[in-house]
């Protein structure tokens, strides 16, 4: 026994101090199952290759929980993330959103992007990880803020039993990258209540036709002209459209406003997640201010503005169809300013 003690002491002195530090850090991490994660390699100051993981946050299996709150005409579904903050889905009469909130603040995080990986449960050997498009880092105490369609996609991944993990690769701290996981454990029972709450919120607000999965807007009765290679229903709407949205413009303008860009960004996100969408149908319209000929040209300019925004974001031009109608298909009368504002629009359909 006495002879073996110096040998053990000698072995301990040969282990790099950075390896010991990594082991202690790894042992005390709060998030997730290490077998489902990807490790990266880095060289320490002594030239030794050691495993360096992102600093992780996320609820353990036994402590993961979801809570539902109905307050002030909105539905809030929340999961607390120990030592980090909380993940929240918020449904108001206007939109669905997702917020990743941190109690620590993000003064040390570059305002760039975060990657998202929807990780299957470790016992689901038949399932695979799903990589979602990157999202921007919001900064301050809101790490990530996602709009209607990205939030719906996150919900669909949680519903499938996958836990989204957000990776902030440009974390400017001594611990390297940062990873935050949202657990799918105990999600489904609370999600069912969340959907019921959503229907009540929309019903109280007078919004008819809840399209919960994809965040589709209720049918507003917009008439469309027929196009030979698109299947249309009796109202003129493409009957195989899986999603539609509408953006509006200032009088005589075709430049996209910030709220229009936000709506199109949600649609772009959906298109990148679902490349099987075959056609993006863009329809330009105006109000009745000005001459019929100039309005026809203005509706074309508005449709082209939306088309340009989509193609700049990487949507293939071969998928996009553009139409323009001038003032001839109004949604409302043109007697009042609010009605004219509704008529100044571009409608976008996604067709399977």
Q: Residue 21: its pLDDT value, please?
A: 34
Nearest to 180 by CA among 163, 162, 161, 165: 165
CA distance 155 to 192: 11
Does 248 lie in the same domain as 161? no
Q: What is the mean pLDDT of the chain?
A: 75
Report the number of distinct structural domains present in the chain: 2
Length in residues, the chain:
352
How many other β-carbons are positioned within 10 Å of the β-carbon of residue 200? Answer: 14
Q: What is the pLDDT of residues 73-132, one digit of tens each?
A: 899 999 999 999 999 999 988 788 999 998 876 544 555 778 899 999 888 888 888 888
User: 292 in a domain, yes or no?
Assistant: yes
Q: Report how far apart, in Å, the C-alpha atoms of 21 and of each of 24, 44, 56, 155 are.
A: 5, 11, 16, 37
How many other β-carbons are positioned within 10 Å of the β-carbon of residue 295? Answer: 23
Q: Residue 18: its pLDDT value, please?
A: 36
Q: What is the DSSP string of 82-140?
A: TTTEEEEEEE-SS-EEEEEEESS--TTB-SSEEEEEEEPPTT-TT---EEEEEEE--BT
| CATH number of the domain bearing residue 289 | 3.30.1330.60
Beta-carbon-side half-sphere exposure of residue 333 (alpha carbons within 13 Å): 2
Q: Residue 96: its pLDDT value, please?
A: 86
Per-residue confidence band for 160, with pLDDT thresholds at 50, 70 and 90: confident
Does 280 lie in the same domain as 168? no
User: 49 in a domain, yes or no?
Assistant: no
User: 202 in a domain, yes or no?
Assistant: no
- Two tokens at 226? 């027929």
User: Residue 236 sits in which domain range?
Assistant: 219-351
Does 152 lie in the same domain as 232? no
């Amino acid at each position: 026994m006495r002879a073996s003690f110096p040998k053990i002491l000698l072995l301990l002195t040969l282990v790099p101090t950075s390896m010991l530090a990594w082991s202690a850090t790894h042992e005390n991490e709060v998030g997730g199952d290490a077998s489902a994660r990807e490790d990266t390699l880095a060289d320490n100051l002594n030239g030794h290759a050691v495993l360096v993981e992102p600093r992780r946050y996320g609820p353990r299996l036994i402590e993961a929980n979801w809570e539902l709150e109905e307050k002030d005409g909105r539905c809030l579904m929340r999961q607390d993330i120990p030592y980090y903050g909380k993940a929240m889905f918020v449904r108001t009469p206007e939109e669905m959103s997702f917020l990743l909130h941190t109690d620590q603040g993000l003064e040390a995080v570059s305002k760039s992007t975060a990657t998202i990986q929807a990780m299957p449960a470790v016992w689901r050997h038949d399932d695979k990880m799903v990589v979602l498009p990157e999202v921007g880092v919001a900064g301050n105490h809101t790490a990530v803020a996602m709009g209607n369609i990205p939030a719906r996609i996150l919900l669909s991944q949680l519903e499938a039993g996958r836990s989204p993990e957000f990776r902030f690769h440009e974390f400017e701290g001594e611990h390297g990258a940062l990873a935050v996981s949202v657990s799918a454990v105990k999600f489904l029972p609370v999600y069912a209540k969340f959907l019921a709450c959503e229907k009540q919120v929309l019903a109280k607000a007078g919004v008819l036709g809840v399209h919960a999965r994809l965040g589709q807007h209720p049918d507003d009765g917009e008439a469309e002209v027929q196009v030979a290679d698109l299947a249309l229903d009796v109202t003129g709407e493409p009957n195989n459209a899986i999603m539609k949205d509408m953006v509006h413009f200032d009088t005589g303008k075709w430049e996209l406003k910030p709220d229009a860009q936000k709506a199109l960004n949600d649609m772009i996100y959906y298109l990148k997640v679902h490349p099987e969408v075959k056609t993006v149908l863009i329809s330009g319209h105006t109000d009745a201010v000005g001459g019929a000929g100039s309005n026809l040209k203005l509706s074309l300019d508005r449709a082209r503005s939306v088309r340009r925004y989509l193609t700049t974001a990487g949507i293939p031009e071969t998928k996009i169809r553009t139409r323009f109608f001038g003032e001839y298909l109004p949604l409302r009368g043109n007697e009042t300013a609010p009605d004219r504002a509704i008529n100044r629009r571009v409608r976008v359909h996604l067709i399977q």
